[in-house]
Amino acid sequence: MRSDAILNDAARGSSDPRQRRPIPAWVATTALLLPTYGWLTLAVLLPLLTMFVFSFMSATPMGKTPIVFTLKHYRAFIDQPYLINIAWTSLVIGFWTTLLCAVFGFLAAVALARATVGRMRETLLVLLLLPFWTNGLVRVFSWTMVLRENGFLDGVVDMVLPDIGSISFLYTRYAVVLGLVHGYLPYMILTCYIALSTIDDAIIEAAASLGARWWTILLRILLPLAAPGLISGAVLTFVPVIGSFMEPRILGGKVGVTMGTVIEDQFTQAFNWPLGAALSFTLLAVVLAIFATFSGVLRRGTTA
């Protein structure tokens, strides 16, 4: 609304002979940025701020318990040392998921960008996006059907190799990582594909004509040039994965205890929103610290 008014004024100003001075650049910039920042404030900053305030309260601010300011929830990792193990588990799951997504996602994107053309490529892209149209819960539950003892996987294995017995691995960390990789792989493929499709064919032809083998082209040309896509894909995967709770809970069974499930328990079972909020912010701080540590690599990668 406000930006419209300012733009109208600006338009009128230029046709009005009495007022020739153009509006200052900062006004136009502010007006144009206002919707974006307004939206960010509403959708990101305010909810985060609310949770941040919650994290200093002694009890959930509903019901009749008196509320006082406290820092005790931020001491959770000291008071309940087992949380450190859980956080470590979450990071390890996040690491493996991101790594597997990066390997398979990058190779799939290379295949898509370099080995297909025209309609074929469009069809494959749509097929990649199809899983996004189904509910994540459905995808995860179908994995339980496949992975459980005497499930689909065991059935197939039994047909091929009847003597091997059950190889069911439902309720293990492998199952959790498998479910997460399945869920987040499309992000990685898309970001890598976008980065790869901007590479000029002439560069690759030049390399090939100079005698470079396919692995040299892959490692020395495609990989560095597509690094921005790979890195943004890794960030897009890693951050939600370490906070995930649905996949660990359903596919992990009793071993599916992660920061995500602990935080979810605080909100839904224990009704301890302040502790849940404090744990979320601690996790956020850890993620930011990890990114800060690797900021050099990240910056070099994204500007290459």
Partner 1 sequence: MTEITRRNALKLMSATLIAGAGVSMLPGMAFAAGTITVLNWQGYGTDEAWSIKAFQEATGIEVVHDYYSSEAEMLTKLRTNPGTYDLVVLNAARCAQAMAEDLISPIDYAKVPNISSVAENLRSNENFNKDGVGYAVPWVWGLTAIAMREGLPKADSYAVFGDPAYKGRVGLQDDAVGAIAAAALLTGQDMNNPKDLDLVKETLKGFKSNVKLLWSTEDQWNKSFAAKEFDVAMYWSGGAVRSRRVSKLPVDFVVPKEGGIGWVDGLGIPVGAPNAEGAHAFANWMIDPKFYVEWATKAGAPASANTAAMESLPADDLSRQIHKPEYISSMSIMSALPDDRREAFNNLWQEVKAFYAE
> Would you say 139 or 148 has its CB closer to partner 1?
148
d(CA 234, CA 302): 12
Question: Considering Cα of 235, then 298, then 43, then 64, what sign does the dihedral take?
Answer: positive
Cβ atoms of residues 236 and 186 within 8 Å? no
Please, what is the minimum distance in Å from the beta carbon of residue 151 to partner 1?
8
| Interface residues toward partner 1, by CB under 8 A | 59, 62-65, 80, 82-83, 85-86, 89, 148-151, 171, 252-257, 262, 265, 268-272
If the CB atoms of residues 149 and 205 are measured against partner 1, the closer one turns out to be 149
Question: Residue 58: which of 75, 81, 82, 83 has the closest Cα?
Answer: 75
Place of tokens 């300011």: 69
**Residue with Cβ nearer partner 1 (94 or 229):** 94
Q: Which of 233/256 has CB closer to partner 1? A: 256
Q: Min. distance of Cβ 95 from partner 1 in angstroms?
A: 17
- Minimal distance, residue 289 CB to partner 1, in Å: 22
Give the nearest distance from C-beta 2 to partner 1 in angstroms.
24
| CB closer to partner 1 out of 63 and 296 | 63
Smallest separation (angstroms) from partner 1 to the CB of 230: 31
Choose among 117, 51, 13, 127: nearest CA to 281.
51
Cβ partners under 8 Å of residue 209, min gap 6: none
Please say which residue, 12 or 75, places its beta carbon nearer to partner 1: 75
Residue 243 tokens read as 């906070």
For residues 174 and 255, what is the distance between their CA atoms, to the nearest angstrom?
10
Tokens for 265?
């328990």
Instruction: Work out the end-to-end distance of the chain between its first and last CA atoms, rounded to an integer number of angstroms.
Output: 39
For residue 147, what are its two tokens? 């992975």
Min CB(86)–partner 1 separation in Å = 5
